[in-house]
Amino acid sequence: MRHKHKRVLELNTGIVKTTTVLRNMLTSLVENGKMETTIKRSKSLKAFTDHFFARLVRINKTKDAADAKREMIRYVSSVVYTEAAGKKIVNELLPKYLDEGVSTWFVSNYKMWFRSGDGAEKVLVRLV
């Protein structure tokens, strides 16, 4: 049996707040290139970000150039909150991933030390 087989871990907040938290974390990850968070949030963010970039790569491979650009901009603007992060994805990150031929593993997690306030373990999340 595969109990609790979901790849994205529950953040125990409800669907609206969970998607809002993931979209905020994705936006700040794209703007800064890295971020520190807890293990549970990093696993959720990794799955969400990999799905996001994999869909963008798939859109670009299946459509011609003009349609793909239009569809990517529409999808990025529906997920990412700031316009600067959206432009960085479309103009810098996505062409790099397409040139390398990468279709998975866009994010890597590195375990760090413990947080000083409550002792939770910190994880560094970086874009590859």
Q: Dihedral through CA 75, CA 101, CA 7, CA 35, nearest 10?
A: -80
Tokens of 48: 């969400």
Q: How far is CA 11 from CA 1, 29, 41, 123, 127, in A?
A: 23, 18, 7, 16, 22
Stronger pLDDT, 12 or 127, i.e. the higher one:
127
Characterize the bridge pairing of strands 34-38 and 121-127: antiparallel
**Percentage of residues in the chain having pLDDT higher than 90:** 72
Query: What is the reported pLDDT for 115?
Result: 87
pLDDT in tens, 68-79: 999 999 999 999
Query: What is the reported pLDDT for 4?
Result: 59
Query: What is the reported pLDDT for 24?
Result: 95
Q: What is the mean pLDDT of residues 101-118?
A: 90
Stronger pLDDT, 92 or 5, i.e. the higher one:
92
62 burial type by CB count under 10 A (0-12 exposed, 13-18 middle, 19+ buried): exposed
Stronger pLDDT, 10 or 113, i.e. the higher one:
113
Q: What is the mean pLDDT of residues 82-99?
A: 94
pTM: 0.86
Query: What is the reported pLDDT for 42?
Result: 93
Class level of CATH domain 15-127: alpha beta
Q: DSSP strand E in 2-120: where?
A: 34-38, 107-114
> Domain residues of the chain, as ranges?
15-127
Which of the four pLDDT bands, split at 50, 70 and 90, describes residue 36?
very high
Does residue 109 register a pLDDT over 90? yes
